[in-house]
Amino acid sequence: MTWPFEAHHDELRRSIRSFVEAELAPHAEEWEEEEFPDWVFSRMGELGFLGLTYPEEYGGGGGDYLCNIVLAEEMTRCGCAGLAMGVAVQTDMAVPPVYKFGTEDQKQRYLVPAIKGEKIFCLGITEPDAGSDVQNISTTAKKVDGGWEISGRKIFITNGRRAHVMTLVAKTDRDAGHGGHSLFIIDTDTQGYKVERVLDKVGMRASDTGEISFTDMFVPEDALLGKEGEGFYNISWELQGERLIGAAGSIMGARRTFEAALAYAKERETFGKPIGKHQAIRHALADMATEIEAAQQLVYTAAVKVNRGEYPVREISMAKLLTGVVAWNTANKTMQIFGGLGYSMDFPLQRAWRDARLIRIGGGTDEVMRDVIGKMEGL
């Protein structure tokens, strides 16, 4: 047991680890080629892993925020980052706004089946011309008799092909600036909702990533999630959780990569001794170990503040930035240590190398994180 976790977190960790290693990890290679199947959600719902922090009255586990950190860390043992990301969208990105801003009816219709794994969620923010700049989204929701008419397009939507429900950000008032955005809960079988294509990606290949269009899509009034005009502020809250959980998974993934590099450096010999005995390799591994430990402690510091009910944008932004850089550098240095073996598609390191790159783009780029941190420092 290590800070900041307690005995019940360790018990949860053992349970998740057992499931991941027995039921997910053996399929990593297969799902890298074919995407992971939907039964993963229903199985995790059955085991209670999709609702660790939600109240028991909705089928959740009633745990604290650190339980979600444990889940993000242990999911890295599946050896398939695309799978871990698809699950994280469900647990920490698309569904939390339903609990925080939804009506009781919305919670019963959407939150409860999401926790059970019966409804798979995706999050509709990014557009072809608006990523980190949420204010610039062009998808519109216009008030009409009995509800809303939505038109627009979203891209890079994880779980986009398979989702039953989308938590959507749309512009409801073009002239209201930050106050002109609203959130909606959209059933993906609604007329006018269309999956245009599934994107072919460099990494995270086990997850489906869709481009979605909405053409005069009518949704009823009760599709509005939270209050009209508060969508920008509500989704900004969601983004903090997305960034921190991404940081937690990313840096633990880096630790797994480092462990592989360390083991290889002890076994592989050149010039009559293990390569880890050569100063260049030994120093590279020392730097990696130090950077990973520092980044992980920053994640834990931010997570503890969230667990206390704080809103630590500064620390979360720092954690997101640092873990992304460290995870990528770790994968890149490890590939150098493995040499030609690491570059081979027959060895899983190439997958870690490709997957690690996304954290520096998705959920807010490095540049955006630096800008946020700069503003928090008064610049």
Residue at 44 is within a domain: yes
- On the question of pLDDT at 130 being above 90, the answer is no
The CATH number of the domain holding residue 46 is 1.10.540.10
Whole-number percent of the chain with pLDDT over 70: 100
Residue at 67 is within a domain: yes
pLDDT band at 1 (very low <50, low <70, confident <90, very high): low
Question: Are residues 274 and 196 part of one domain?
Answer: no
Using the 3D structure, point to which of 161, 195, 229 is the last residue of a domain.
229
> Which of 10-19, 122-131, 350-359 bottoms out in mean pLDDT, i.e. has the lowest?
122-131
Domain residues for the domain of 183 are: 122-229
Query: Does the annotation mark 242 as catalytic?
Result: yes
Question: Are residues 371 and 242 part of one domain?
Answer: yes
**Scanning the structure block, which residue is given the tokens 């770790």?**
330
Question: Are residues 207 and 104 part of one domain?
Answer: no
Q: Within 10 Å of residue 150's Cβ, how many Cβ atoms?
A: 25
pLDDT band at 131 (very low <50, low <70, confident <90, very high): confident
Question: Are residues 78 and 17 part of one domain?
Answer: yes
Region 213-241 average pLDDT: 95
Question: Are residues 324 and 362 part of one domain?
Answer: yes
Catalytic residue among 74, 242, 291, 315: 242
pLDDT band at 178 (very low <50, low <70, confident <90, very high): confident
pLDDT of residue 80: 94
Using the 3D structure, point to which of 197, 229, 261 is the last residue of a domain.
229
Q: Count up the domains in the chain and report the number.
A: 3
Question: Are residues 108 and 190 part of one domain?
Answer: no
Q: Distances from the Cα of 34 to the Cαs of 25, 83, 161, 310, 347, in angstroms?
A: 15, 11, 13, 40, 18
| 54 contacts: CB under 8 Å, gap ≥ 6 | 60, 61, 62, 99, 111, 115
Residue at 299 is within a domain: yes
Question: Are residues 161 and 206 part of one domain?
Answer: yes
Residue at 258 is within a domain: yes
Task: List, for residues 273-284, the tens digit of each pLDDT value.
Answer: 999 999 999 999
Using the 3D structure, point to which of 177, 209, 229 is the last residue of a domain.
229
Question: Are residues 113 and 65 part of one domain?
Answer: yes
Residue at 329 is within a domain: yes
Q: Among positive and negative, which fits the CA dihedral 368, 369, 370, 372?
A: positive
Question: Are residues 203 and 242 part of one domain?
Answer: no
pLDDT averaged over the chain? 96
Residue at 2 is within a domain: no
- Crossing angle for the helix pair 313-338 and 279-307, nearest 10 degrees? 150
Question: Are residues 245 and 210 part of one domain?
Answer: no
Residue at 262 is within a domain: yes
The CATH number of the domain holding residue 164 is 2.40.110.10
Residue at 195 is within a domain: yes
Pairing of strands 269-270, 273-274: antiparallel
Question: Are residues 366 and 269 part of one domain?
Answer: yes
Region 114-124 average pLDDT: 98
Q: Are 167 and 185 in contact (CB under 8 A)?
A: yes
Question: Are residues 131 and 111 part of one domain?
Answer: no
Pairing of strands 273-274, 140-144: unpaired
The CATH number of the domain holding residue 344 is 1.20.140.10
Residue spans of beta strands (DSSP E) within 82-171: 121-124, 140-144, 147-158, 165-171
